[in-house]
């Protein structure tokens, strides 16, 4: 398992609002500044935010990927009058998903799952978005190309995105984040199906470890997913005038998808729990089978060995030894005892 927490405790005792980069410092900061309206789209210089309003009804999208260049990001945020506490949230990788309804905008933090192929486990990445005026600024701590499909749609003018305002852009970003859960959920679904087949066939210690691994992953997902419900719900219910009436049907749909993600995670939790129970009970069942085999063998042959031992004794006066039919009689007795034992186990339903 990956660690659940990044070292936030470093911040203990710092003035509230002080920025410490608890996320990865290794991802270099890149900025993209796209301005578009229905008819045209162009790329601006992210360092010169003053070049405003040269395109009628234009939507501005600044996307900042990688948060290592703390100073420059803080500078931009301050230029856009983002509150210190929110800047802190952008850098805090342990932040829960949340929506903050600001006076003149909306601030959204969401988490999305990334499957780390190398280490073989899930971890959560963070995406923060600020909607202010007709501009959206989005922040992402990692290099995961989660928003690339949106850029393509913007350039191709696919769907309605170029015709609508910045609030729709914010929705589209959130929608990509929520959709990213489905790929992970489907892969879990596949793993569950594969594990169930093994469970019915011949479960091993490795099967157990995979179930356990899956369970812990579901716990991590669950922790990310529940706060998202509240965050998307708040966004859905907002009466902030910056969110147009016509966008609300999309936000409701987004909320639906979020609930669907939560439902699925909870269902997986129940299923995996059931698999663990099934595994444990299967093992007990098998041990019972093993015990029966041992008991049958031991209970039949230990008395017989005793019988053999009796006539292996060297007492000088052991009359049976000299009897003519002793040996065949002995075999008779032995076979009868053996068969009686078998009958006894048969009656006990052990055979």
Give one word for 167, left, alpha or beta, with left for phi > 0 and alpha for psi -120 to 50: alpha
Question: Between residue 12 and residue 51, which ones bind a copy of itself under the rule CB under 8 A?
Answer: 12-18
Question: Between residue 268 and residue 307, which ones bind a copy of itself under the rule CB under 8 A?
Answer: 268, 270-271, 274, 276-288, 290-295, 297-299, 301-306
Comparison of 118 and 202: residue with beta carbon closer to a copy of itself: 202
CB of 89 to a copy of itself, least distance (A): 7
Alpha helices, H only, the chain: 70-79, 84-91, 148-156, 166-200, 205-237, 248-310, 326-347
CB of 87 to a copy of itself, least distance (A): 11
CB of 189 to a copy of itself, least distance (A): 5
Site size toward a copy of itself, by CB under 8 A:
127
Comparison of 29 and 191: residue with beta carbon closer to a copy of itself: 191
Question: Does 250 participate in binding a copy of itself (rule CB under 8 A)?
Answer: yes
Question: Between residue 307 and residue 326, which ones bind a copy of itself under the rule CB under 8 A?
Answer: 308-324, 326
Question: Between residue 82 and residue 121, which ones bind a copy of itself under the rule CB under 8 A?
Answer: 83, 85, 88-89, 94-96, 98, 100
Question: Does 259 participate in binding a copy of itself (rule CB under 8 A)?
Answer: yes
How many CA atoms, within 13 angstroms, populate the side-chain half-sphere of residue 245? 0
CB of 56 to a copy of itself, least distance (A): 23
Comparison of 28 and 323: residue with beta carbon closer to a copy of itself: 323
CB of 233 to a copy of itself, least distance (A): 13
Comparison of 44 and 142: residue with beta carbon closer to a copy of itself: 142
Comparison of 33 and 255: residue with beta carbon closer to a copy of itself: 255
Among 39, 263, 332, 339, binds a copy of itself (CB under 8 A): 263
Question: Between residue 136 and residue 165, which ones bind a copy of itself under the rule CB under 8 A?
Answer: 148-150, 152-153, 158-161
Among 45, 54, 118, 202, binds a copy of itself (CB under 8 A): 202
Q: 124, 106, 107: which is closest to 115 by C-alpha? A: 124
Cα separation, 221 vs 181, in Å, equals 9
Q: Where are the beta strands (DSSP E) in 8-154?
A: 30-36, 41-44, 59-65, 98-102, 105-116, 121-132, 135-140
Among 191, 196, 233, 240, binds a copy of itself (CB under 8 A): 196
Question: Does 74 participate in binding a copy of itself (rule CB under 8 A)?
Answer: no
Question: Between residue 203 and residue 222, which ones bind a copy of itself under the rule CB under 8 A?
Answer: 205, 208-209, 212, 215-216, 219-220, 222
Among 50, 71, 249, 347, binds a copy of itself (CB under 8 A): 249
Alpha helices, H only, 64-165: 70-79, 84-91, 148-156
Comparison of 42 and 252: residue with beta carbon closer to a copy of itself: 252
Cα separation, 3 vs 121, in Å, equals 11
Residues contacting 122, CB < 8 A, separation 6+:
2, 113, 114, 115, 116, 184, 217, 220, 221
Q: Report CA dihedral (298, 303, 305, 309) to the nearest 10 degrees.
A: 150
Pairing of strands 59-65, 135-140: parallel
- Cβ density class 155-166: b for 16+ within 10 Å, e for less: eeeeeebbebbb
* Tokens 């006894």, residue located: 344
Comparison of 15 and 56: residue with beta carbon closer to a copy of itself: 15
């Amino acid at each position: 398992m990956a660690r659940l927490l990044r070292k936030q405790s470093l911040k203990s005792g710092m003035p509230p609002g002080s920025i410490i980069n608890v996320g990865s410092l290794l991802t270099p900061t890149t900025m993209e500044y796209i301005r578009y309206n229905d008819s045209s789209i162009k790329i601006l210089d992210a360092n010169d935010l003053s070049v405003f309003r040269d395109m009628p009804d234009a939507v501005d999208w600044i996307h900042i990927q990688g948060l290592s260049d703390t100073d420059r990001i803080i500078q931009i945020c301050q230029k856009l009058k983002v509150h210190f506490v929110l800047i802190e949230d952008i850098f805090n990788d342990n932040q829960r998903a949340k929506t903050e309804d600001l006076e003149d905008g909306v601030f959204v933090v969401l988490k999305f799952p990334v499957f780390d192929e190398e280490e073989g486990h899930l971890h959560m990445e963070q995406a923060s978005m600020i909607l202010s005026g007709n501009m959206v600024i989005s922040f992402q701590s990692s290099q995961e190309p989660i928003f690339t499909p949106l850029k393509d749609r913007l350039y191709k003018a696919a769907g309605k995105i170029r015709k609508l305002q910045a609030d729709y852009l914010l929705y589209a970003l959130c929608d990509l984040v929520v959709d990213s859960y489905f790929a992970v959920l489907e892969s879990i679904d596949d793993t569950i199906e594969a594990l169930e087949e093994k469970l019915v066939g011949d479960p091993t210690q490795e099967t157990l470890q995979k179930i356990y691994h899956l369970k812990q992953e579901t716990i991590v997902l669950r922790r990310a997913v529940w706060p998202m419900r509240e965050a998307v719900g708040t966004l859905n219910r907002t009466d902030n005038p910056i969110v147009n009436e016509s966008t609300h049907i999309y936000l409701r749909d987004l909320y639906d998808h979020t609930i669907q993600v939560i439902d699925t995670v909870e269902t997986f939790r129940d299923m995996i729990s059931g698999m663990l129970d099934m595994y444990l009970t299967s093992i007990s069942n098998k041990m019972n089978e093993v015990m029966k085999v041992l008991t049958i063998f031991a209970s039949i042959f230990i008395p017989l060995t005793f019988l053999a031992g009796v006539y292996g004794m060297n007492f000088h006066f052991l009359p049976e030894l000299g009897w003519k039919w002793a040996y065949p009689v002995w075999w008779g007795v032995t076979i009868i005892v053996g068969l009686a034992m078998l009958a006894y186990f048969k009656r006990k339903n052990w055979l």
